[in-house]
Amino acid sequence: MNIIPMPAILTENEGKFHFTDQIAISSNPEAKSIALWAQKFLQKSSGFPLPIENTVKEDSEENYITFLLVSNSANIKPEGYKLRIEPSRILIQAIDLAGLFYGFQTLRQLLPKEIEQNEPKNDIKWKIPCVLIEDSPRFSWRGFMLDVGRHFQPIAQIKKMLDQMALFKMNRFHFHLTEDQGWRIQINKYPKLTEIGSKRNDTKIGGWLSKQYRGQPHEGFYTQDEIQEIVGYAKERFIEVIPEIELPGHSRAALAAYPHLGCLGTQMEVPSKFGIFHDIYCAGKEETFSFLQNVFDELLNLFPYTYVHIGGDETPKKRWKSCPHCQQRIVEKNLDDEKDLQTYFVNRMFNYLTSKGKKVIGWNEILHPNLNPEAVGQWWIGGKKKIISHLRQGRKIIVSKLTQVYLDYNYVMTPLRKTYALEPIPSGLESKYHSNILGVEAPLWTEWVPNNTRFEWQVFPRIIAVAETAWTQKENKNFQSFMTRLTAIYQRLSLMGIKPATIKNVNPKGIKRFLKMPSIGKWPLV
């Protein structure tokens, strides 16, 4: 059975369910939204009428696909489901709507691949193998991050990605909305953020070693209505959207719009090249904090979820070292140094956001003995030693290790097998702390991702490996099996209009890998 992610328990039984125009859908009233979802999805490719009944009759009812939201007592875990396919009927049970939704995604993968087509074709025999599946996720955080700062990404591409995330049971979309090279969200109180900060004159192309530029301006931002449209689309797919406003670094676009928020206060452009910039928000000026708080006030109205991301990575301290405001803050607050000033900065934002009922995430550079223990760390770089000590103190961590799940590298640097091999729980961590690992998230940074073709080549198939790592129990993971299932699923991706990297190129080995190493800087399509 070509199911990804691999379910926890799968029993194959005799026989097939025949999905025909005689089939109907039933659900209890609580599960109606999922019944409607299934109806719409299945009608599109089969053309069958699929009437819905909002009562569930006897357990043995024939010719129905039934969705049942049951109470806690049913021995099913959150987001988990039980899927029973018999020759005469299909039953999906869960204790939450997400579980029913995921049960349906599994059913979808058991149907012939043409179920992904956009219109009915007559000649398909829709047979589904009889199985009993009991399934639930290993981790509650199964994420994908998209950087829309370096290259603005159209809403259609984001929705296409959210569709894929749903198919593979991923549930967190981390929306990296601000960068040095572009501010991408409308903030009514600060119109220059988008009037100035969402535009740049040019863009470096060809990779880190190149000196070439595209020779064209680049711009784009999402209105608040568009943000709500994306959040709504994700919600229908049980995906929470986590907004990120980068601070104090990666903030050149904001400083181009409002230069007084920097230490120097001088006018500067939205940069056309990539990297780490010295100009960051001034930690000594009160205006910086009132600005960021006002930005978050508008933002929090658009994202109805608990988690908010405040960045915190790659923050050079050069400007803070020579800024009278920042130095005065260090003295006033009795801080050790500029590193401690960053913790002050992060804690202050943390306190503000916590007062609004939010939980805060930051990249692992924010981890510091004085950081509030409730702040969640996103582990992208550095060894496990420090991370383990934080986990032992009770801190929650999301795993995004650069060497394995960063989707912006090519397949020479990060072959699919290396991504698949990620084990999120660091070895040496005692089992009582394992639950402090919330899960896994794969970022796509878009310095060199100017279009959909490149986007899909970078993301697929590695994101599918990440989805399996995040969902499937460790002992049920197997790379050989994954490759077989993946090869089958490629036909579906094609029907969905996704163009992944070719299977034969995603696991370069030995000499071929080394021969291609020198071209890493050019990011070749291997």
Binding interface with Zn ion (CB under 5 A): 263, 282, 284, 323, 325-326
Closest to ligand ACM by CB, 13 vs 403, is: 403
Cα radius of gyration (the chain): 24
Q: Which does 363 bind (CB under 5 to 8 A by kind): ligand ACM, Zn ion, none?
A: ligand ACM
Q: Which does 325 bind (CB under 5 to 8 A by kind): ligand ACM, Zn ion, none?
A: Zn ion
Q: How far apart are CA 176 and CA 159, in angstroms?
A: 15
* Contacts of ligand ACM in 380-399 (CB under 6 A): 380
CB of 410 to ligand ACM, least distance (A): 16
Closest to Zn ion by CB, 96 vs 338, is: 338
Q: Which 8-state DSSP code applies to residue 262?
A: B
Q: How far apart are CA 135 and CA 113, in angstroms?
A: 22
Closest to Zn ion by CB, 327 vs 478, is: 327
Measured at the CA of 359, the angle between CA 355 and CA 365, to 5 degrees, comes to 115
CB of 281 to ligand ACM, least distance (A): 16
CB of 312 to ligand ACM, least distance (A): 9
For residue 349, the SS3 value is helix
Do residues 121 and 114 make contact, with C-beta atoms less than 8 angstroms apart? Answer: yes
Closest to Zn ion by CB, 285 vs 492, is: 285
Q: Which does 326 bind (CB under 5 to 8 A by kind): ligand ACM, Zn ion, none?
A: Zn ion
For residue 302, the SS3 value is helix
Two tokens, residue 281? 């928000």
CB of 234 to ligand ACM, least distance (A): 22
DSSP code string of 290-314: HHHHHHHHHHHHH--SSEEEEE--S
* Residue closest to ligand ACM, measured at CB: 313
Closest to ligand ACM by CB, 377 vs 424, is: 377
CB of 443 to ligand ACM, least distance (A): 7
CB of 363 to ligand ACM, least distance (A): 4
Q: Which does 263 bind (CB under 5 to 8 A by kind): ligand ACM, Zn ion, none?
A: Zn ion
For residue 51, cis peptide bond before it (omega within 30 degrees of 0): no
* Contacts of ligand ACM in 117-156 (CB under 6 A): none
Among 281, 344, 363, 523, binds ligand ACM (CB under 6 A): 363
Do residues 78 and 95 make contact, with C-beta atoms less than 8 angstroms apart? Answer: yes
Closest to ligand ACM by CB, 303 vs 380, is: 380
Q: CA neighbours within 13 Å on the CB side: how many for 362?
A: 30
For residue 85, the SS3 value is strand
Closest to ligand ACM by CB, 114 vs 313, is: 313
Alpha carbon of 283 to those of 120, 278, 320, 337, 504: distances in Å? 59, 13, 7, 12, 50
Q: CA neighbours within 13 Å on the CB side: how many for 219?
A: 11
Q: How far apart are CA 417 and CA 81, in angstroms?
A: 29
Is 314 a binding residue for ligand ACM by CB under 6 A? The answer is yes
Is 379 a binding residue for ligand ACM by CB under 6 A? The answer is no
Phi, psi of 250 (to 5 degrees): 45, 45
Is 313 a binding residue for ligand ACM by CB under 6 A? The answer is yes
* Contacts of ligand ACM in 220-249 (CB under 6 A): none
Q: How far apart are CA 253 and CA 466, in angstroms?
A: 31
* Partners of 199 in beta bridges: 219
Is 409 a binding residue for ligand ACM by CB under 6 A? The answer is no
Closest to ligand ACM by CB, 61 vs 314, is: 314
Q: Which 8-state DSSP code applies to residue 222?
A: B
CB of 191 to Zn ion, least distance (A): 25
Measured at the CA of 116, the angle between CA 21 and CA 159, to 5 degrees, comes to 130
What b/e sequence results for 490-508 when a residue is b if at least 16 CB atoms lie within 10 Å of its CB, and e otherwise? Answer: bebbeeeebebbeeebbeb
Closest to Zn ion by CB, 200 vs 317, is: 317
Two tokens, residue 267? 């006018």
Q: CA neighbours within 13 Å on the CB side: how many for 422?
A: 31
Closest to Zn ion by CB, 25 vs 280, is: 280
Q: Which does 412 bind (CB under 5 to 8 A by kind): Zn ion, ligand ACM, none?
A: none
Is 208 a binding residue for ligand ACM by CB under 6 A? The answer is no
Residue 181 burial (CB count, 10 A): 27
Q: Which does 23 bind (CB under 5 to 8 A by kind): ligand ACM, Zn ion, none?
A: none
How many residues form the binding site for ligand ACM (CB under 6 A)? 4
Q: Which does 323 bind (CB under 5 to 8 A by kind): Zn ion, ligand ACM, none?
A: Zn ion
Q: Which does 282 bind (CB under 5 to 8 A by kind): Zn ion, ligand ACM, none?
A: Zn ion
Q: Which does 380 bind (CB under 5 to 8 A by kind): Zn ion, ligand ACM, none?
A: ligand ACM
CB of 284 to Zn ion, least distance (A): 4
Closest to Zn ion by CB, 98 vs 263, is: 263
DSSP code string of 102-145: HHHHHHHHHS-GGGGSSS--TT---EEEEEEEEE--S-SEEEEE
Closest to ligand ACM by CB, 226 vs 314, is: 314
- Chain residues binding ligand ACM by CB under 6 A are 313-314, 363, 380
